[in-house]
Structure 1
């Protein structure tokens, strides 16, 4: 397999890489909304779009189906999430093979959260894997995929200390990871401190910061609780006291834009926008940053185009 427009090559160009995250829809109406979102994203010609994987592998088939359809029916390059939790090694190999057959050439490899309680006890599948680094090795042996992994600006909630957290990250890169995407965060200094720790460990894998537009107080408080991210007190206060959704939107977009600009000004290799399957906030941030037109011109355009397959 080859990946002419894969994440590895795009990052190697040394210019900021812009990308978006979506998740598999559960209803026909949600599916229509998602595809409107994907067409809006496609018009920007981003570096890639990623497709998330439900906790415990709960959306495995829907994730795989969506990644296949995006790869086959749009000009977008796809990074498909793959988690170890809930799967045997045999199942994981089968999923990787299905992605390869569909033309998906980049995977975001994660250990994954327990299906019922993301903060609860983590139990491996009896015939599965225990660590993300093991899954990276499995994917690396399966073919010439670009492999991404997770990075945690505020430390993984299950890591006992920073030394343990960095050691796990380094193990993933030594197993074959090419790049990383961070967990959501809201303070630029958290990203810079993580980068400094990785530099000190001799780890040079590009780490793409994830941008989460915080536009609703209850929603962002819940996401922060699940992920362990810290919402700055000032941002939380302003969102909690926003007069309406429009003001909340403006507050969230302004904060995320300032965060993104500071990250780019200090050498971040790109930005990965969480969309929640709606483009309004992500596109408002994109435009507020004055980002240039994307550099990649697809070889084939239109319905049914299969992009990035040798």
Structure 2
């Protein structure tokens, strides 16, 4: 969506549903979110391609609705020809944007699950080698650093390799401390990395699931937020109201500071995202 006042670009991440009921829910979610005129929807891809067919089905459905779609593609555990076939499938569909990731190893696979391409920069290079500039490639960025990175410098080196391999832009892991994002941009500028780096935004709706996921992916929940959420326990209404306020203010600070857009991790829910966008004045145009 391009907001008439500040030209803000927004996009939404979905995950492929496991059931027919889940797909019906997703269709309702997409219909509501699409009213906000996002630039695109992205669709996740499970560890080692474990959701491949469901990802294909979700992408197919979105494209049939005329919705611009950016499938995620991970390289770990796959060989070059497998990846080329997937990309050719997407090119045939008219897909022009890919989110290129290393991906996580499937549980229990060990190092033997690694494929011919082991890192996201290798995947980006491969896409450019085989498909030229057909795909706009987004990669992942970690303002608070990847949990598996040796140190902060190594993580920035990894990000630089992805960009210099041909990425057009990046989407960050979610964060709640805007200073982490601004400092990350400063570090990137010092390394002559000048692609757009879009903040990833995670609405707060459930403390326990957010804490568990944040601990796993290395995203920090600031103490002042965590302690309030802990105190409310299972009072989901209070948590959602507080989360909407906190995340709306975070988004406003990011946009006022010059962030090029917002990418929402929707968790296949429309309500929290729509409320945040409404608070920001990012509403669908009247028709």
Q: TM-score range by the shorter chain?
A: over 0.9
Task: Name the residue aligned to 1:258.
Answer: 249
The answer to whether the Cα contact below 8 Å between 1:148 and 1:177 also exists between their aligned partners in 2 is: yes
Task: Name the residue aligned to 2:22.
Answer: 30
- Of 248-257 and 235-244, more deviation after overlay is shown by 235-244
TM-score by length of 1: 0.86
1:255 is displaced (CA, Å) by 1.0
Decide which of 106, 128, 140 is 1:140's aligned counterpart.
128
Task: Name the residue aligned to 2:77.
Answer: 86
1:45 is displaced (CA, Å) by 1.5
Q: For the residues of structure 1 that align with 2:282 and 2:204, how far apart are their CA atoms?
A: 20
**1:172 pairs with 2:165:** no
Q: Where in structure 1 are there 5+ consecutive unaligned residues?
A: 1-6, 298-310
Q: For the residues of structure 2 that align with 1:19 and 1:110, how far apart are their CA atoms?
A: 18
- SS of 2:35's equivalent in the other structure is helix
1:75 is displaced (CA, Å) by 2.7
- SS of 1:209's equivalent in the other structure is strand
Decide which of 22, 25, 32 is 1:40's aligned counterpart.
32
Decide which of 40, 48, 53 is 1:56's aligned counterpart.
48
**1:235 pairs with 2:216:** no
**1:106 pairs with 2:97:** yes
1:51 is displaced (CA, Å) by 0.3
1:123 is displaced (CA, Å) by 5.2
The answer to whether the Cα contact below 8 Å between 1:114 and 1:123 also exists between their aligned partners in 2 is: no
- Does the C-alpha gap of structure 1 residues 141 and 65 become closer, same or farther in structure 2, counting only changes over 3 Å? farther
Higher RCO (C-alpha 8 Å, min separation 6): 1
Task: Name the residue aligned to 2:235.
Answer: 244
1:142 is displaced (CA, Å) by 3.0
1:272 is displaced (CA, Å) by 0.5
Task: Name the residue aligned to 2:261.
Answer: 270
1:121 is displaced (CA, Å) by 6.0
- Equivalences, count: 281
- Does the C-alpha gap of structure 1 residues 205 and 123 become closer, same or farther in structure 2, counting only changes over 3 Å? farther
Q: For the residues of structure 2 that align with 1:241 and 1:115, how far apart are their CA atoms?
A: 35
1:291 is displaced (CA, Å) by 1.9
Q: For the residues of structure 1 that align with 2:7 and 2:125, how far apart are their CA atoms?
A: 28
Q: For the residues of structure 2 that align with 1:188 and 1:121, how far apart are their CA atoms?
A: 35
1:72-109 Cα offsets, whole Å, 9 max, x none, are x2132111100011211111111111111112110000
1:38 is displaced (CA, Å) by 0.8
- SS of 1:290's equivalent in the other structure is coil
Q: For the residues of structure 1 that align with 2:73 and 2:258, how far apart are their CA atoms?
A: 28
Decide which of 262, 268, 275 is 1:284's aligned counterpart.
275
1:30 is displaced (CA, Å) by 0.9
Q: For the residues of structure 1 that align with 2:223 and 2:91, how far apart are their CA atoms?
A: 44
- Of 92-101 and 157-166, more deviation after overlay is shown by 157-166
1:178 is displaced (CA, Å) by 0.1
- Of 204-213 and 85-94, more deviation after overlay is shown by 85-94
1:224 is displaced (CA, Å) by 0.2
1:244 is displaced (CA, Å) by 2.0
Task: Name the residue aligned to 2:114.
Answer: 125
Decide which of 122, 141, 150 is 1:151's aligned counterpart.
141
Q: Where in structure 2 are there 5+ consecutive unaligned residues?
A: none
Task: Name the residue aligned to 1:304.
Answer: none
Decide which of 190, 210, 217 is 2:207's aligned counterpart.
217
- SS of 2:174's equivalent in the other structure is coil
- SS of 1:167's equivalent in the other structure is helix
Q: For the residues of structure 1 that align with 2:85 and 2:57, how far apart are their CA atoms?
A: 14
